[in-house]
């Protein structure tokens, strides 16, 4: 069976936690982290919540243009990203893909024969990525970039029943330690 790392996008691989997608730029260490994960035998899968699409704040075509730009940026030197999945829904849509729901992880686990117990979710929002890790049976790493520090501070109550398996300075430090 394969193993995978499921990454959040904004605040984890680059950009800011809640900023507009068209301002997204990868952190300087993001590609090194993704390459290191590949060398350690992991599939690299990005899962991002983009509820601004269903709320009508972010037009789908604008999002898709940015999605392609970001994917090309990560994959420009070598193929670092295996899947890049986005959820356009808001909570009231009752989808199964909006983090912390596990739809995308379940789908990838089936497609690639991934052992989720040997896999990780890495993100800067405890209520999304750490709860997702728990729901999917993966290990969860909270990074301190983006909204990570606030997740441990003023937003800790939004995921009070959960604990990260690890807290890392950033995604590169996270990959180094797994």
CA distance to 13, 73, 93, 167, per residue, from 114 (Å):
22, 26, 28, 24
The angle subtended at Cα 97 by Cα 75 and Cα 48, nearest 5°, is 35
Q: Which is nearer to Mg ion, 126 or 139 (CB)?
A: 126
Q: Which residue is nearest to Mg ion (CB)?
A: 11
Q: Which is nearer to Mg ion, 21 or 108 (CB)?
A: 21
Contacting positions for Mg ion (CB under 5 A): 8, 10-11, 17, 124
| Cα–Cα distance for residue pair 104/125, rounded to 1 Å | 17
Q: How far is the CB of 114 from Mg ion (least distance, A)?
A: 22
| Cα–Cα distance for residue pair 58/153, rounded to 1 Å | 29
Q: How far is the CB of 110 from Mg ion (least distance, A)?
A: 25
Q: Which is nearer to Mg ion, 49 or 119 (CB)?
A: 49
Q: Which is nearer to Mg ion, 22 or 78 (CB)?
A: 22
Is-contact 176 36, C-beta < 8 A?
yes
Counting other chains too, the contacts that 90-98 makes at CB distance below 8 Å and 24 or more residues apart are 90/51, 90/54, 90/55, 91/51, 93/54, 98/49, 98/51
Nearest to 128 by CA among 94, 91, 173: 91
Q: How far is the CB of 13 from Mg ion (least distance, A)?
A: 9
Q: Which residues pair with residue 114 across a beta bridge?
A: 2
Q: Which is nearer to Mg ion, 109 or 122 (CB)?
A: 122
Q: How far is the CB of 138 from Mg ion (least distance, A)?
A: 16
Q: How far is the CB of 1 from Mg ion (least distance, A)?
A: 28
């Amino acid at each position: 069976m394969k193993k995978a790392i499921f990454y959040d996008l904004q605040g984890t691989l680059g950009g800011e936690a809640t900023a507009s997608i068209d301002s997204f730029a990868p952190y300087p260490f993001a590609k090194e982290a993704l390459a290191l994960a590949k060398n350690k035998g992991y599939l690299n899968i990005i899962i991002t919540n983009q509820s601004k699409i269903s709320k009508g704040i972010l037009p789908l075509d604008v999002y898709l243009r940015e999605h392609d730009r970001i994917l090309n940026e990560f994959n420009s030197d070598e193929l670092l990203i295996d899947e890049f999945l986005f959820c356009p829904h808001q909570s009231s849509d009752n989808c199964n893909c909006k983090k912390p729901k596990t739809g995308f992880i379940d789908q990838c686990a089936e497609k690639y024969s991934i052992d989720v117990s040997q896999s990780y979710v890495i993100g800067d929002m405890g209520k999304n990525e750490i709860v997702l890790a728990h729901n999917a049976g993966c290990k969860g790493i909270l990074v301190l970039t983006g909204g990570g520090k606030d997740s441990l501070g003023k937003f800790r109550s939004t995921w009070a029943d959960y604990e990260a398996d690890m807290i890392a300075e950033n995604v590169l430090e996270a990959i180094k330690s797994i």
